[in-house]
């Protein structure tokens, strides 16, 4: 019978909590929490700084660092001891799984943080797009002594991509101040700050959402605590924030709107893994809308696979529910786990079964082009989703307000805005307003938002 053939929603006992109500009522007692992604040119000190943050906040132990230092010294790379903390991440060690976007948690006196680490191997840019689209804050690491090559290289691309995926707040770590000549040169800090601020504001970051902090990730000065007072560093102690206090300031202003809590559950899947024998299939991601609780029936799109929430972790601790804005790991159960495993992919949308997202195979995006854009094959990035597709027609050039400037252009020159129709090679669980980045041959061609959806349908492609 059809009842036997159609998949059934597996049952997990639910408490049927009114999560929105509980969350709103407990707002005053909650510590601020924020996730950040670390971006910047290779060798400017990103890994070292992250290792430093984890060490100085007690998230990793000095004895672990000492062990890394011993190994690193034996290999003639003593200065990389802190950076190694990131390579052998807690996630990978404890779970024995490899994830593309590792999460490292640490807490300060006033807030809880998650570092989203997209390791810098060959697929760095797609992973960075994924990481940045889950983050509340970007930490841009700039080697103060490499001003020119830094701002010309990956720094520029990362800043552009961070803004393209909707990141608004940025802390600039003006790093390696210990290595400046003279060390902790205030003029150098000022000129680097000016240069970086210019890049950021030109890219569309609001001045109020940019904080610049002089620091040294290597020896820890002005990361968690100001440098020991001396003639050289007095200006730092007197005038500026530490990296941590800058992050805390931003964390205090990340709050979830009740509107997004009341929407249907949406979570883009960023990683899929086996957490343990108890949890054969687990997924992680950031809840972009709604709430989720244990026992809740969910549907994964575009495959329409059904599953239920067996357990939820936030910052590696079990919880009964989670809400929009939080990064979570959801442990799933399904009638046919193998089928679920086969059909669920990174970039899929996990939705409430009462209202799963619809899928499309073409959409219109209003975008800003960074490179000349013609009809042709492209790679479409929406958060962690990465799909081959085509720009099928250039509909019109538009001005900043969206007004038509010219219909059916033959080319969209760099720096212009346009409405472009994009067709993707498989069903896309997308929505109006989603951020899109279009790339080809390893270069970013343009970015914008979905401004119109093609024919929608519910169900597998």
* Alpha-carbon torsion (141, 145, 149, 151), positive or negative: positive
| CA gap 446, 418 in Å, rounded | 10
Short-list 238, 239, 245, CA closest to 223: 245
Considering the complex, what minimum distance in angstroms separates the CB of residue 34 from ligand GDP? 21
Least separation in angstroms between residue 176's CB and ligand GDP is 4
Q: In this complex, which beta carbon is closest to ligand GDP, that of residue 222 or of residue 326? A: 222
Q: Which residues, 6 or more positions from 412, have their beta carbon under 8 angstroms from its beta carbon? A: 369, 372, 373, 374, 394, 397, 418, 420, 446
CA distance 350 to 16: 19
Residue 64 tokens read as 């672990």
What's the min distance (Å) between Cβ of 177 and ligand GDP? Answer: 7
Q: Between 142 and 349, whose beta carbon lies closer to ligand GDP?
A: 142
Tokens 């009522």, located at residue: 25
Q: Which is nearer to ligand GDP, 180 or 438 (CB)?
A: 180
Q: How far is the CB of 81 from ligand GDP (least distance, A)?
A: 8
**Which residue number, 139 or 436, has a Cβ lying nearer to ligand GDP?**
139
C-alpha span between 95 and 44 (Å, rounded): 30
Q: Which one, 139 or 298, has the nearer CB to ligand GDP?
A: 139
Shortest Cβ 426–ligand GDP spacing (Å): 34
* Residues 6 or more apart whose Cβ sits within 8 Å of residue 327: 35, 103, 114, 116, 134, 284, 285, 286, 314, 315
d(CA 313, CA 323): 12
Q: Which residues pair with 437 in a beta bridge?
A: 381, 447
For residue 381, the minimal CB distance to ligand GDP (Å) is 23
CA dihedral 51, 53, 58, 61 (to 10 degrees): 10
User: Nearest approach, Cβ of 280 to ligand GDP (angstroms)?
Assistant: 34
Are the beta carbons of 143 and 44 closer than 8 angstroms?
yes
The least distance separating ligand GDP from the CB of residue 44, rounded to whole angstroms, comes to 5
Q: What is the DSSP string of 152-198?
A: HTHHHHHHHHHHHTT--EEEEEEE-GGGSSSTT-HHHHHHHHHHHHH
What whole-number distance in Å separates Cα of residue 35 and Cα of residue 133? Answer: 10
**Which is nearer to ligand GDP, 214 or 290 (by Cβ)?**
214
**Are 161 and 128 a contacting pair, CB within 8 Å?**
yes
Which spans of this chain sit near ligand GDP (rule: CB under 6 A)?
42-48, 79-80, 83, 175-176, 178-179, 216-218
Beta carbon nearer to ligand GDP, 124 or 273? 124
CB 94, min distance to ligand GDP, A: 22
Asked if residue 45 lies in contact with residue 141, where contact means CB atoms within 8 angstroms, the answer is yes
**Residue 165 or 215: which CB sits closer to ligand GDP?**
215
């Amino acid at each position: 019978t059809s009842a036997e053939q159609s998949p059934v929603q597996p049952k997990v006992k639910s408490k049927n909590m009114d999560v929105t109500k509980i969350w709103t009522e407990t707002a005053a007692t909650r510590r601020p929490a924020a996730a950040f992604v670390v971006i910047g040119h290779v060798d400017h000190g990103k890994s070292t700084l992250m290792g430093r943050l984890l060490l100085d906040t007690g998230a990793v132990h000095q004895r672990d660092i000492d062990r890394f230092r011993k190994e690193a010294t034996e290999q003639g790379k003593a200065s990389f001891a802190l950076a190694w903390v990131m390579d052998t991440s807690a996630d990978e060690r404890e779970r024995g799984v490899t994830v593309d976007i590792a999460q490292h948690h640490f807490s300060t006196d006033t807030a809880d943080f998650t570092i989203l680490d997209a390791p810098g191997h060959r697929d760095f840019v797609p992973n960075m797009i994924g990481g940045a689209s889950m983050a509340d804050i970007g930490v841009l690491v700039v080697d103060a002594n490499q001003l020119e090559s830094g701002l010309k290289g990956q720094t520029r691309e990362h800043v552009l991509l961070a803004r393209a995926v909707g990141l608004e707040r940025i802390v600039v770590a003006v790093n390696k101040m210990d290595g400046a000549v003279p060390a902790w040169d205030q003029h150098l800090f000022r000129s680097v700050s000016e240069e970086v601020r210019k890049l950021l504001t030109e890219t569309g970051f609001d001045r109020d959402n940019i904080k610049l902090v002089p620091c040294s990730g290597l020896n820890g000065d002005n990361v968690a605590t100001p440098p020991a007072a001396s003639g050289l560093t007095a200006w730092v102690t007197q005038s500026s924030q530490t990296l941590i206090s800058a992050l805390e300031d931003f964390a205090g202003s990340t709050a979830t709107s009740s509107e997004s809590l009341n929407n249907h559950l949406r979570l883009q899947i960023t990683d899929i893994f086996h957490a343990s024998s108890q949890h054969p299939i687990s997924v992680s991601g950031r809840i972009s809308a709604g709430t989720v609780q244990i026992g809740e029936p969910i549907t994964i799109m575009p495959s329409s696979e059904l599953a239920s929430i067996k357990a939820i972790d936030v910052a590696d601790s079990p919880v009964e529910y989670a809400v929009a804005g939080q990064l979570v790991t959801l442990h799933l159960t399904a009638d046919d786990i193998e089928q679920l495993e086969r059909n669920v992919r990174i970039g899929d949308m996990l939705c409430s079964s009462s209202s799963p997202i619809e899928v499309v195979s073409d959409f219109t995006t209003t975008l800003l082009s960074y490179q000349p854009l013609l009809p042709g094959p492209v790679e479409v990035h929406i958060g962690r989703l990465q799909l081959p597709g085509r720009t099928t027609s250039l509909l019109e050039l538009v001005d900043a307000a969206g007004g038509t400037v010219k219909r059916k252009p033959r080319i969209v020159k760099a720096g212009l805005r346009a409405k472009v129709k994009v067709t993707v090679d498989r069903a896309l669980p997308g929505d109006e307003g989603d951020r899109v980045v279009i790339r080809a041959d390893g270069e970013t061609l343009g970015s914008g938002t979905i401004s119109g959806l093609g024919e929608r349908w519910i169900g597998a492609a």
